[in-house]
Amino acid sequence: MIRLRQPELLLFGLWFGLTHDPLGILRISLLCSLLHESGHIAAWIVFTGTLPMLELSPGGIGLCLGNARLSPCKEGILAAAGPAVNLIAAGMAYLWMLYSASYWGWFFLGTNLLVGGFNLLPVGPLDGKRIWNNFFGG
């Protein structure tokens, strides 16, 4: 299930961005964010056997844990799954760039590193804080 907060603002921003993005930078950024969230979703499905609830807001996409009871280790792995997917995608893009260099490939690689790296910051609702708290008792 997907819960939308302020869907009008989100949809207007998405429409405006995609119609005024001649270089496709927003599309690649959204793809990297989608890959990031797919890592969390895959880990959630492995741990619970159910589909998670996603929350879309102007601030981004997030996985709602709700009343789920996961061990600290599993919750830490769940938090690390998104950045791990970004790192894997960046590695695959790098291997692709060794044979067929393009600006899009380098941008895809860099954006994956930025999305994954930013989410590893140990602040606020980001993955880094959840990883730190679950593995190191922060």
**H/E element holding 4?**
strand 2-4
Evaluate the CA torsion angle 63, 76, 111, 95 in order and state its sign: negative
Question: Could you tell me the residue ranges of all domains in the chain?
Answer: 2-136
Section 74-87 average pLDDT: 96
Helix/strand/coil for 64? strand
Out of 10-19, 21-30, 38-47, 77-86, which region has the weakest mean confidence (pLDDT)?
10-19
- Residue 81: closest CA among 123, 27, 31, 120: 120
Where do we find the tokens 């894997």?
88
